[in-house]
Structure 1
Amino acid sequence: MADNTRMKGLEADIKKLFQMMESMMEENRSERARLKEATDLKFESLQASISQIANEYSQARSVVLGSHHGTNSGGDQSGRGAAQPRKVNCDLAKFDGSDALAWICSVDQYFEFFRVPEEEQVGLAAMHMSGMAIPWFQMTQRTSPFRSWTQLKRSIEIEFGPSLFESPRELLFKLQQRGTVSEYYAEFVALANRSHIDPPDALMDCFISGLQQDIRREVKAQCPPSLMRAVSLARLYEDKFSPNPPTTTAPASFRSVNPPTLALTQPKPSLCTGSPPLLPAPSPRSSTSSPRNPIRRLSSTEIQAKRAKGLCYWCDEKYTALHKCPNRHFMLFQLEEDEVPAGEQQAAIEEEVDPFLQTLEQQVTDHHLSYNAMHGTSGSSTIRIRALLQGLEVRALLDGGSSDSFLQPRIAKFLNIPVQPAPGVRVIVGNFGIMDVEGYIPSLEVTMSGCKVTIPHVFVLHVAGGDLVIGSPWLKQLKTYIVDYDAAFLRFLHNGEFVTVHGEKNPTPEQAQYHHIRRLLNTNAIEEAFTVEVQQPAQNTATPLPFSPTMGPAFAELLQKYQIVFQQPTGLPPQRLHDHSIPLVEGAAPIRVRPYRYPHHHKTQIECMIQEMLKDGIIQPSRSPFSSPILLVKKKDGSWRFCTDYRALNKITVKDRFPIPTVDELLDELFGAKIFSKLDLRSGYHQILVKPEDRYKTAFRTHQGHYEWLVMPFGLTNAPATFQHLMNDIFQPFLRKFVLVFFDDILIYSPSTSQHLAHLEIVLQTLQKESLFAKLSKCLFAVSEIDYLGHTITEKGVHMEKDKIQAVLAWPTPENLKQLRGFLGLTGYYRRFIKGYASLASPLTDLLKRDAFQWSSVAAHAFESLKNAITSEPVLALPNFDQPFIVETDASSTGIGAVLLQDKHPIAFFSKKLSTNKQHQSAYAREFYAVTEAVAKFRHYLLGKKFIIRTDQQSLKTLGDQTLHTPDQQKWIHKLMGYDFEIQYKPGKENTAADALSRSFMAAWSCPKPEWFNTLKSEIEADNVLRELRENCEKGSPKDPN
C-alpha cells in the first residue's frame, strides 16, 4: 500500500516535470523567435547603412574625379542638393631631387588612382617639385620640352636616380651582411626592388647567401618556404648568436662542482610559436618542478636511469637523434661558475655526446679534403665507383688523399639519415680554404659490388667530387687490400672473402644549361670559373736548322730556340685586328671577268696548286657573284707564283691611304749600326686573313672551278697598306731603335754583337707571339754587310747593290718607250748616288714626251753617261742627326746642283735642270733659287736643327738684311722661313761638287766626232776643183758648177 502511494507520488512529480519542460521549451521557442526577429531587423539596418556608405563613397569619388577631369554637370549639382560629400585628401609629396625612384613610384600610383589625363600629368608633377629639382626642370623644359610623363620620368631617373653604370642586380648578388639582419634586409630590399629577379626562390636564395656564415647555415637547415620566413629566421638566429643576449626575468639556476653547469631559463613567449626549435629543450612537468622555477631538476640517479632506458629527459619518450618533444620551447643557456654548496647532489641536464665528437674541437686542423674531391677532378689517388646507399644509387669517390669521409647534405636529407650536430668542426680543402661541416654521421652502411661495408665517421659537407667521398680512414680499417688507381680497381678482404670493386672512367663534362649557371650565380655557389681552350701540343721535331758554318754558337742556339718561326705554316693564320677588308664604292656591281686561256702545261700546274691550297685551307670553293681571272708568274728559282688579276676589282675598291715608308727614310735610321740581320717572311700576304664578310669579293675562276681566298691574296690594291699597318703595329715599340720594316722585309741593326743578339731575340719572340713565319733560306744573321731594298749597307755607309749595277750595265739600247721607262726607273731609284742625275738624264726624259721618241746620238750619249755614272757611284755616308749638316749649292746658266755633306762625306746628291725662263735670270737669282730648292729637297734632314749653306754667290751671305724686289725672290725667301741656318761663301773653284752638279748636264750636249769626218775634210782641201769652188764662195762670186 505504501509502495503504491509512493508510485503515484512519483508519477505526479514526473508529470509536473514534463509540464515544466514543455513550458520552458515554449518559452525558449518564443525567445528564439523574438531574437530572430530582432536579428533580422539589425541586419536590415546594417545593410541599409552599408548601402548608404557605398553611395556616399561613390559620390565622393565622383567629386574628386570631376575636379581632376574638369567636368561639372548641372544635373549632378542639383541632384546632390545641399549635402556635399567630402573629397579624398591625398596630396603628392614634394620632390627636391632626393629619393627619385620612390617619388616616381608614388606619382605613378597617384595618376593611376585618380585617372589623371596624360596631357595634365607633366604639369601636375612639375607643381610638386621643390629645391634643386625646380631649376633643373625649368632649364630642361626650355631647351627640350617634356611631352609626356614617361619622358619626364625617364629624365628624372637619369638626372637624380642611381648611376646608369651601376648594376643593381650585380650589387644584389655581391651584397653581404655587414651589420644587423635588419640593416642587411633594408639594403637588400632597396636593391631587389630595382633588380626584378624571378622566380621568388632565386630572390630568397640570394638573401640567404648574403647572410653571415653562422646565421646562413642555420637558416638553410630550416629550408624556409618564403623570403619573409627566411628573414624571420635570420632575425631569430641573430638573437641566438648575439654576444649580448637579452636578460631573462626569472633566471633559475642550479650548481654543480665539476663540470660547470648549464642553467636553463624559459624566455617570455614573444617568439613565433610556429618556429622550429633551435636546440633540443625539454619542458618541465608540474609534479617535479615549482611554478616559479620552470627548470626540471634531475638527480644523477634519475639521469643514469633515463639514459639506460633511452628516454628523453623532458617528455619521457624514446630519444633518438631526430627526436622532438611534443611541446616546443626556445631555451636560453647560461653558464654559471659559482661553486655548488656542499651536499647538493643535483646534476645539470646534459645530452649524451658521442666520444668521437668530443675530440673534434681539439682536431679542427686535422680534417683534410683533397682538391680532387672538392672540385670533382680526377687525380693520382682517386677512383670513381657506383654504390648503393639505402637502395639509392650514388656516385662515390674513393679518395686516398682525404682524411675523412663526406656525404652530400641533399643525399642525407633525401634518405632521412640521422645527422648529429658537429659544432666547430672545420675542414681544410685542397685549395687551403676552410669549410664548416653541416653535421656528422657516426657510421654509414654502403653497398659496393654487392658487399655491404660500414663507413665510419662521415661528415655532411658540400663537395663537387661526388655524392659520397670515401676517405683514407675506411681504407685503414680494411687492413688487407690492394688498390690500383691507374687501373681503377680495389680488392679487399671482407668476412673471409675477397671483394673486387671496379671503378669508372673519368666522366665527360656535359654542357651546362643557362638556367643552371644563372641559379648558381644567383646563389653565390660558383667559387671560381675558368675559360678552357683545348689546343694540340706543338710537334717538336727537334730537327736542327741548316745554319751557316760561320754563324756564332750563340746565334745558332737562339735560332734553334725559335725554330718554329722558320717552319712551314699549317692551317689558317689567327684572327687579328688588321684582317684585310675590301670596301667598295657605293653602287658598285659585282665584278665578272672571264678566265684567261692557258697553255696546256699551265693547266696542269694550276690544278696542282689549287689542290695544294685547298689542302692548306687558304682557299675554299665559292658561289660568289664576283669572278676574277688568274695567271701564273714565274719566279727567279723557276717555280710559279699563283696570282689573281684583280684590276677590275681594284677600280671599284675604296683606296686605303695608309702611309708606306720610303727607302731613303728607312736608310737614314742606320747611323752607328755595325751588325745586321734580315728576315724575310714566308708568303707574307698569306699570313693575314680576309674578313669573312669580304671573302666572296676575292673569288676567282679557273678552267677547273670557282674559288675564293680565305687569306689575303696578291694583287689587291689595299693589300700593301694592310700588311704594312700590321707590321708597324706589332713592331711599334722597336721601330727606329733597332728594327726597320718594309712590308715583309725586316732589318735588325745594332752597334754591337751582344746587343744584336738581344735585339734579334726580341724580334723572333714577337714573330712567334703573332704567329708570323719567316723563310730561313732568305734570311741573313749577324753580318757586317747586308743587301736590303736594293742597297748594300755597311758600317761605312750605303751604296748600290752589285747585282743592280750589273743589270744597268747590261741594259740594251731602248727601242721603244717601255724599255726607256724601265731603264729610267731603275737608274732613278739610285739617283741619290749619282751626281747631276737630272742633267744627265735630261735628253732621255725629253723622249718621254708625246710622239717625241726618236733615238739620236745625243740620247745615246746620255744613255752611256748614266751607265758610267752608276759604275763610279760613291759610298754615301749614313746621316748622324747629332752632328750638323752642310749644304753646298751652285747654279750655272742651265741648271742647279747641291750636295748634302757631313764631316766632308757626301750623304745625298741633288740636281735640277733650269727652265728657259730661269736660264735668262741673273746669276744672283739662279744662286738664290738653288739654295731654296736644295733646302726643300733635304728638308727632312735640316728641319729643327742648325745647318750651314755654302754658295759661291757672296752677296747671299747677307740675305737676311737684303731688300727683295722681285716676286720670285719674295716667294723663295718664304721657303726658307722656319729654318735655322748660316750662309757661308765658298768660291766656285772650291765648290767643285755643286759646280759639277750644276754643269753636268752639259756633257750631254757634246757630240761624237768620227775619224772619217777628218779624212773627208783633208780630201776636200786637197781636191783642186773643190778648192777653187771654196775660194770663189769666200770671195762672193761662186762659179756655176755646170
Structure 2
Amino acid sequence: TGTLATSDQLFRLQQGTSSVNEYTLQFCTLAAASGWNEISLLGAYQQGLNPEIRTAMALYDDSIGLESFLHRKTRVSQRLATCQPPVTAPQPALVAASFPVPEPMEVDTTRLSRTERNHRITLCLCLYCGKQGHHICTCPIRPPRLVVSTIQSEVETASLTLLPVTLHTSDYSLSVSALVDSGSSGNLISQKCLNQLQLSRCRHFQVYSLKTIQGKPLWRGKVRHSSPYINLQVGLFHKEEIRFLVLEESTVSIILGRPWLPRHCPELRWDPCDVTHWSKQCHTQCLSNLPHPRPVSVQVASTHMESPKQAFTPEIPAEYAAFQDVFSKQAATQLPPHRPWDCAIELLPGAQLPKGRVYPLSIPEHQAMEEYIAEALSQGFIQPSTSPAAPSFFLVGKKDGGLRPCIDYQQLNSQILQQPYPLSLVPAALEELRGARVFTKLDLRSTYNLVRIRAGDEWKTAFVTPTGHYKYRIMPYGLSISPSVFQTFMNKVFREFLHRFVVVYIDDILIYSRNLAEHRQHVQQVLHKLREHSLYLKLEKCEFYQPSVQFLGYVISAEGVQMDQGKVNAI
C-alpha cells in the first residue's frame, strides 16, 4: 500500500492550468506508489480533470477501465483544443503493454460461451483449442504471450515520449529510441538490444515481477537479470554510465524510468517535443565536456508504449562505508609512493636509445596535448627531461570522439630485457571457484599509473612533443613490460588470498565465497589490502554480492563456468 502522503497528494491533485498530458503524467507517477485499486484511481483521475474535459468524458462508460479511459481522454482533449466535435460512438483502444496480450476468448467473448467454458472445464479440455491432454498454459498451438509489446486496435494509439539515444560499448555503438516513462519504477533494456551490443547479462541479486499501476500482473515471468554498465549518450553531449534490468521480450529497446528521471530532471516541451533543460548534476557530470555556450535542447520523438522496473546509481554497500577512501577518484590522481615492485627498465647490452620525430598536430590535437601535459605535470606523473631518449608523442581518436595521448615505445620495447609473464591461465584459475555461491568483482582505477618507475630509470621513458621534452615518473601505457610488472605487483599484494578466495588478472579482481557472511569478511580483507598499498577502485565498475558475474570472457555462477555468449557471438 502507498503512504498516507502519497494518497493525500493523489486525492488533492487537480489539472488546473496544466495540460491534460502533464496532469496525466503527475497522476500516473503518484498512482504507481499509492496502492489504490483501479476503481478508486479512475474516480480520483476524473475528479481532478478540468470541468470541460470531465463533461466530455461523461459520454463514456466508466466500465471501460482506467487504461482505456486515459487513452480516450487524450483524444477528447485534442478535439476540444482544435474545436472539433467529438465523435458520438467511442472507439475501442488499448494502451500499449499495460496488460498481458489477451487470449482469443478475451478478445471476442462470443467465441467461448459460459456454457462451452464450463463444458471444457468439466471434461478437462483445453480452454484454448478444446482438445484433451493438456491445459491452456501448455497448449501447443497457443501463440506466445508478449511481455512488453505494442497492442494496437484499428484506431490510433496513445502517444508517449521517446528520446533518441546511443549506446556505446568498447566494440559497438547502437542508436535506439528510449521510452521516458515516469510510471516505470526501473530502467530496462530489451534482450534484443543487449544481443545487438554483443553483451551478456548477469543474474541480478533480486528478482522483480512486473505490474501495472493498478497492481495487475503485466507478465507471468520475472525479471531476473541485469546488464553490465553501458555508456548512454543523449544528444551530442549528455553522457553517463548506466546499468539496466533486462526484459526478455520487448518492442522498445530502452525504458528510462523513475530511477533515471529524478537524477537528470529533464524538462520536456510538448509542442514541439524536446528536452529543454537538464539538472545541475548533469552539468557537472554528464555534460562536463560540453562547450560554451551550452545548447540545452535535444529533439525527441513520440511513440505508443508503456512500461515497467529499476536502475542503479553506484553506491558503496553500507558495511563498507568505512572504505570510502578506497573508491576515491581524486586519490588515484596522486603520485604513488615508491615500492619494492617499482617498474625497473633494464636495457639490453649495446641498446640504442629511441629517437623519434616531432609530429605536427592540428589545433584540436595541440589543445588536447597541452591539457594532458599540464594535468600530468600538476599530478607529478611527468617532469621535464634532458634525456637522450626521445620517442614520438601523438594522439589517436577514441570511440567517444575524444583524443588519447600515445608514446611510440616500439623501439624502446625492442631494447628492453623482457620479464617473465606471471599471468595465470584463466581456465586453471577458474577451477578454484568450485563451490562458490557469492561473487564480488572489483575494478582498479588508473591501473599502470599506480606503479612508480624505479628511481633512476625515469629518463628511459622520455618522450618529445612540439612544445617540450618530458619523462614519466609513473609506469606509462605502451611499455611491453607493463602487464608483467603490474601482475607481479598484484600477486605480491594479494599473495595470502590467492587460491583461497581471490582471483586477480591485471586490474580485475574477483572475490568468491560459499556464503554471504563469509563473503563480507573476504571483501573487507581485500579492501584493507587495497588501502594499505594505495590502490583505488572504480565504484561504477564494481559489482557486489552477485550470484553470477562476467569475468575475463566467462560467466561465473554457482552452477559453474560458461563462456560469455556475447564474446562467442562476436567471434
Question: Which TM-score applies when normalising by structure 1?
Answer: 0.24
Comparing both structures, which one devotes a greater share of its residues to helix?
A: 1
Which of 1 and 2 has higher RCO (CA within 8 Å, sep 6+)? 2
Question: Which TM-score applies when normalising by structure 2?
Answer: 0.43
Comparing both structures, which one devotes a greater share of its residues to strand?
A: 2
Structure with the greater alpha carbon radius of gyration: 1
